[in-house]
Structure 1
Amino acid sequence: MPSYRPSTDDQRHLLFDVLQADRVLPALPAFAEVDGDLLSQVLEEAGKFVADVVAPLQAVGDAPGCKFDNGRVLTPPGFAAAYRAFWQAGWPALACATEDGGQGLPWVLEGVLYEMLSGANHGWTMAPGLLHGAYECLKHHGSEELKSTYLARIASGEWLATMCLTEPHAGSDLGLARTQAVPQADGSFRISGSKIFISGGEHDLTDNIVHLVLAREPGAPAGPKGLSLFLAPKLLQDGSRNTVHCDRIEEKMGLHGSPTCVMRFDNATGWRVGDAGRGLNAMFVMMNAARLHVALQGIGLLDAAWQKAEAYAQERTQMRAPGALRGEGAADPIIRHPAVRRILDTERAWIDGLRLLAYRTGLELDLAKHHPDASRRAAAQQWCSLVTPVLKSICTEQGFSGASRCLQVFGGHGYVKEWGIEQIVRDSRVTMIYEGTNEIQAIDLLARKVLPDGGQALAAVLASLETELDDAPTRERFAALREVTRALAAAQDPTLACEAADDYLRAVGLALLGWAWERITRAPAGSSPRWAQPAAAARLRILPEFEMRMAILRTQCGQPLAA
């Protein structure tokens, strides 16, 4: 079975021919020297590195996986060397500011890079996956002293970082966290407590690990407003070991190449990042970046599963396909069978449509940060706030369910390890859980971002999309969304909002997917078989689900089904 290869031709088409990123980005002052040739060259080199260095380690990461040895964690063979090559080649610093040793390139390029990395080797990619979020958190909230010591090394990837939030009794409800941070006369803190599910809490990839830890100072109020954020490194500045311990690594369903650690802070030395009691505000800089990364993980994993299924279907012969002529042989490649073709075309439609939406969101992140017009920056931020939870949820759900469908192409062979498809199914499942479960994403979208203003922000985003594309089916879906949003807002029932949230998010995602496919088909080459075939699958097999979700939502709002 061939290794994953980044889909650079498809990625370039969506970025440049459909979204025109090679025109949008150079128009921003920060990227005036970033032309289409440079963007294309970076994508090409990223694809080569991922294919040649990271992808071959996929199976090694699953077996034997990481090993725990008396507080030390050993990553799979080849992982440390690949990571050293990764950071020394400058890939972690792609979108970091030049004054911090970064390359100052657009965020959307980093997003595409991490999509590739996740498709190639999800377990390995977990290690650098939090770097940019940690960088942004420290850059915006850290003291000058902390930044001078840690920022450049995080930007370069020389030192990796963690996000220590979860405790055994405090998962989604972080306000229950009990870890304590006691101030010292020299301005430092002593941190004590345990954190679980910490990706990369201990490993042998880098000399130092920078832990960002949520903890509570003495006398702080209960709940989330009493939490502050602290930086506690594995190694202190004098080279001595901080009292941060890995007590064990979890035995997991998947992601065996990434150590998921139970961490114990035993009066560890740390320093506060940002203001007291505003730890969640500082941490959410990491969380928002991480959630878009997770959406791209779902896309990359589904693309990897599709590549394996498509390659297998080209080679595997079984019985004569319907419509085959006599004399053509007793068996055909199974890709000629409608049941198999249906799976491949449908999952291809999900990959392409979701990829376009994720890249559009990456461009909006760049616009929100760098556009000279304040109103355009605000509109871009509004897009990211509303669309990020949709993408985190719908991309990861399809990453898992779509990978399972791709496994079906293999029949019984898919259920055994030698083909590698079952690893993708196992590895992809966790994306629906971490960085905020998909149920939390749905509640965040509807109850916290849409209903408080009666749906005005969402209506503004939909209206802006309609100005880009005058398409009757898209207008009808957007109108239906506005209608059901008004009904949910009028109900003023928080219980109803939580019950309806999953269906509502799914409906928003499908409406956006319909818009994305109209953009793709109307762009250059949109009528070619490469794009027309999955477009037809989207219209026939994916988008009709929108009406089902609308029927559920209308029923929950007490509206007649025929509305």
Structure 2
Amino acid sequence: MPVFTAPTKDIQFVLHDLFKVSEQPIPGYDEMDRDFTGAVLEEAGKIASEVLAPLNVVGDKEGCHFENGVVRTPKGFKEAFEQMKEGGWTALDCDPDYGGQGLPYLMHTAVQESFVSANMAFNMYQGLTHGAYSAIHAHGSDAQKAKYLPKMVTCEWTGTMNLTEPHCGTDLGLMRTKAEPQADGSYKITGQKIFISAGDHDLAENIIHLVLAKIVGGPEGIKGVSLFIVPKVHVNDDGSLGARNAVSVGKIEEKMGIHGNATCVMNYDGATGYLLGEEHKGMRAMFTMMNEARLGVGLQGYAQAEAAYQNAVAYAKDRLQGRAVTGAANPEGPADPLIVHPDIRRNLLDQKSFVEGARAFTYWGALLLDKAHRTGDADAEGLVSLLTPVIKGFQTDKGFDMAVQAQQVYGGHGYIEEWGMSQFARDARIAMIYEGANGIQALDLVGRKLAQDGGKHVMAFFDLVKSFIKDNEANEALKKDFLDPLKEASKALQAAAMYFMQNGMKNPNHALAGSYDFMHLTGHVCFGLMWAKMAKASLEALEGGAADKAFYETKLTTGRYYMQRQLPAVAMHLGRIQSGADSVMALSAENF
């Protein structure tokens, strides 16, 4: 059975060596000193490795079961969920006015990483609740917040997001779920939603569904979409539970992975719902939830790769196979361990350099969200809006690739279920699809985010990279291995953006055909920036006489690997972008 150990030291490095969080001018960050974050992360790591990780295989093998209209979660999930609630882990960054602990979102993100690595399917129950909490907190009335949030903060009640219908996924303007106004101000919600993660289960006494629907008589298309709170069980004015609402589970889906999470078809048969936010402004309210969820899914991409990597490293050090070409490394044994072979080293370093770069990139996104929400910084809001599709799309694409590479280290055993490696690959695969398939993330990046606010935010990103290089170019230890490759990669990204500007207006297909490559090109540049910053932090630690020299030297070696072996992919992506759309669009539909 696979094992998992929370990478607490690496997380602490990103929080304190890289971002120096306790020195950040963001309300609440001054409390996040190394001792405090270390204590929180150590406790979270114990739960992850001792409680959640052993249930990962259980959830995969048992799955969820639909019995007499009720969804049953796998053995042990309910008890583990109670531990999560009792420990306050569901409330870390929630508003103290509703029972939360008020910590920064960055701290929530750091804790969630270990939970997701240990058991992604299980963690989705609280993860989706957090997103629903955020949407109600941002857009709900005072009465709605008082009624629903305290129980959602504790996860006594969980939450969901209901967007997709059988005939429409991304194109939500096509939805048919309708909302009929009632005399008391409520609405009757009628329709069917599919692919609803954590749609029903036995972990909480109520589920608060957030449902997109069209108010009868409203505008056509996406402009007529509103968002509604639809509780599974009616909530009385005093907060007690009443009768069952007219919402039910049609079935639970049989999926490739995340078997421990119930993905449901939800039927709304005149269910009572309450408008959240303004009429016909449902997408604005839902995006509060979706943007947070997209950063969380980007985290899932690398968190699964982290768990897979840990097991692949252990296997590579233990499994004897062949001899090192430069001479026996284990002369007393019948063969050398796999890790002596260059191709195994390449495989593992691909994984290691990706995971550590992704952690830094994701935490940077969380820090920007805190800066935007806690200080009102519009520039931080714009920058994280630009980067969100990259965090989600690039990291889940590469995260799946890395989970597969970890599986590959095992050879034939990686294909055998009892070793558990296929679960990491199967679970990671969904992250490329849900919360907006990665092709949609690329279209969002190129079609919307580049031009947002007149291109202000992408120019700010270019300036940020340029300034970092300029401010550190006198540092010879950084220049050759980190700054020079980053400068070339940034030039490639700017050239790609210029190509879109020069050609996209004349023929939009030229931009859209290159959007996926642009998302990956941007991802590599962001990782290059993170690795250059991590290299600087590591050098500073070594110069300051750090006790654990090997840790920081390993960071530098891993970073050099990324800059030399992964960052050059930007040239390939630029070449594809600059080839335009002609070859992509050349075939007529009937010739496929």
TM > 0.5 fold call: yes
Instruction: Choose from 311, 323, 327 the match for 2:326.
Output: 323
Query: What is the 5 A alignment of 1:132-147?
Result: 132-147=130-145
Question: 2: distance between equivalents of 1:165 and 1:4?
Answer: 34
Is the CA contact 1:318–1:331 (under 8 Å) kept in the aligned structure 2? yes
Question: 2: distance between equivalents of 1:393 and 1:142?
Answer: 30
Query: Relative to structure 1, is the Cα distance of residues 325 and 53 closer, same or farther in structure 2, using a 3 angstrom cutoff?
Result: closer
Secondary structure at 1:472 match in 2 = helix
Is the CA contact 1:22–1:39 (under 8 Å) kept in the aligned structure 2? no
Question: 2: distance between equivalents of 1:345 and 1:385?
Answer: 30
- Between 474-483 and 47-56, report the one with greater CA deviation: 474-483
- Between 314-323 and 466-475, report the one with greater CA deviation: 466-475
**Which residue is equivalent to 1:276?**
279
- Between 448-457 and 125-134, report the one with greater CA deviation: 448-457
Question: 2: distance between equivalents of 1:541 and 1:252?
Answer: 35
Q: Give the drift of 1:125.
A: 1.1
Is the CA contact 2:23–2:29 (under 8 Å) kept in the aligned structure 1? no
- Whether 2:87 is the aligned partner of 1:84: answer no
| Deviation string, structure 1 residues 114-168 (Cα, Å, up to 9, x no partner) | 2211110111111111122211211121122211110111122221101010000
| Matched AA of 1:55 | A
Secondary structure at 2:16 match in 1 = helix
Question: 2: distance between equivalents of 1:81 and 1:245?
Answer: 25
Is the CA contact 1:455–1:486 (under 8 Å) kept in the aligned structure 2? no
| Matched AA of 1:477 | A
Query: What is the 5 A alignment of 1:406-425?
Result: 406-425=406-425
- Between 528-537 and 212-221, report the one with greater CA deviation: 528-537
| Matched AA of 1:542 | Q
| Matched AA of 1:355 | R
**Which residue is equivalent to 1:546?**
570
**Which residue is equivalent to 2:580?**
556
Is the CA contact 2:23–2:30 (under 8 Å) kept in the aligned structure 1? no
Query: What is the 5 A alignment of 1:86-485?
Result: 86-237=84-235, 238-325=241-328, 327-371=331-375, 377-451=377-451, 455-470=455-470, 471-485=483-497
Q: Give the drift of 1:467.
A: 2.2
Aligned residues: 552
**Which residue is equivalent to 2:55?**
57
Question: 2: distance between equivalents of 1:449 and 1:121?
Answer: 33
Is the CA contact 1:243–1:268 (under 8 Å) kept in the aligned structure 2? yes
Question: 1: distance between equivalents of 2:229 and 2:379?
Answer: 33
**Which residue is equivalent to 1:72?**
70
| Deviation string, structure 1 residues 186-231 (Cα, Å, up to 9, x no partner) | 1111111100000111100101000000011110121111011111
| Deviation string, structure 1 residues 345-399 (Cα, Å, up to 9, x no partner) | 111000111111111111111111113xx5xx12211221111110101110111
Q: Give the drift of 1:476.
A: 2.6
| Matched AA of 2:194 | I
**Which residue is equivalent to 1:38?**
36
Aligned CA RMSD, in angstroms, stands at 1.7
Secondary structure at 2:317 match in 1 = helix
Question: 2: distance between equivalents of 1:76 and 1:417?
Answer: 18
Question: 2: distance between equivalents of 1:222 and 1:300?
Answer: 40
Is the CA contact 1:320–1:329 (under 8 Å) kept in the aligned structure 2? no
- Between 326-335 and 225-234, report the one with greater CA deviation: 326-335
Question: 2: distance between equivalents of 1:56 and 1:512?
Answer: 34
| Deviation string, structure 1 residues 19-42 (Cα, Å, up to 9, x no partner) | 211221xx3334444433222221
Secondary structure at 2:4 match in 1 = coil
| Matched AA of 2:536 | R
Secondary structure at 1:138 match in 2 = helix
Question: 2: distance between equivalents of 1:10 and 1:309?
Answer: 18
**Which residue is equivalent to 1:531?**
555
Q: Give the drift of 1:408.
A: 0.6
- Between 215-224 and 284-293, report the one with greater CA deviation: 215-224
Is the CA contact 1:346–1:534 (under 8 Å) kept in the aligned structure 2? no
Query: Relative to structure 1, is the Cα distance of residues 533 and 34 closer, same or farther in structure 2, using a 3 angstrom cutoff?
Result: closer
Is the CA contact 2:492–2:570 (under 8 Å) kept in the aligned structure 1? no
- Between 429-438 and 493-502, report the one with greater CA deviation: 493-502
Question: 1: distance between equivalents of 2:198 and 2:20?
Answer: 37
Question: 2: distance between equivalents of 1:452 and 1:31?
Answer: 29
Query: Relative to structure 1, is the Cα distance of residues 43 and 466 closer, same or farther in structure 2, using a 3 angstrom cutoff?
Result: farther
Secondary structure at 1:192 match in 2 = strand
| Deviation string, structure 1 residues 506-559 (Cα, Å, up to 9, x no partner) | 11111111111111112135784421332232123211111111111222289x
- Between 310-319 and 531-540, report the one with greater CA deviation: 531-540
Q: Give the drift of 1:407.
A: 0.5
| Matched AA of 2:263 | T
Question: 1: distance between equivalents of 2:277 and 2:451?
Answer: 30
Question: 2: distance between equivalents of 1:316 and 1:18?
Answer: 35
Query: Relative to structure 1, is the Cα distance of residues 385 and 452 closer, same or farther in structure 2, using a 3 angstrom cutoff?
Result: closer
TM-score by length of 2: 0.90
| Matched AA of 2:537 | A
| Matched AA of 1:283 | M
Is the CA contact 2:209–2:229 (under 8 Å) kept in the aligned structure 1? yes
| Deviation string, structure 1 residues 32-70 (Cα, Å, up to 9, x no partner) | 444332222212221112112111101100111111112
Instruction: Choose from 520, 525, 533 the match for 1:511.
Output: 525
| Deviation string, structure 1 residues 290-313 (Cα, Å, up to 9, x no partner) | 000000001100000101101111
TM-score by length of 1: 0.95
- Between 175-184 and 455-464, report the one with greater CA deviation: 455-464
Q: Give the drift of 1:465.
A: 3.2
Secondary structure at 1:556 match in 2 = coil
Question: 1: distance between equivalents of 2:284 and 2:261?
Answer: 27
Is the CA contact 2:485–2:567 (under 8 Å) kept in the aligned structure 1? no
Query: Relative to structure 1, is the Cα distance of residues 553 and 97 closer, same or farther in structure 2, using a 3 angstrom cutoff?
Result: same
Question: 2: distance between equivalents of 1:529 and 1:341?
Answer: 17
Question: 1: distance between equivalents of 2:216 and 2:453?
Answer: 37
Question: 2: distance between equivalents of 1:515 and 1:262?
Answer: 42
Question: 1: distance between equivalents of 2:517 and 2:449?
Answer: 16
Unaligned runs of 5+ in 1: 559-563
Is the CA contact 1:454–1:485 (under 8 Å) kept in the aligned structure 2? no
Query: Relative to structure 1, is the Cα distance of residues 329 and 50 closer, same or farther in structure 2, using a 3 angstrom cutoff?
Result: closer
Is the CA contact 2:22–2:29 (under 8 Å) kept in the aligned structure 1? no
Query: Relative to structure 1, is the Cα distance of residues 555 and 7 closer, same or farther in structure 2, using a 3 angstrom cutoff?
Result: same
Secondary structure at 1:261 match in 2 = strand
**Which residue is equivalent to 1:12?**
12
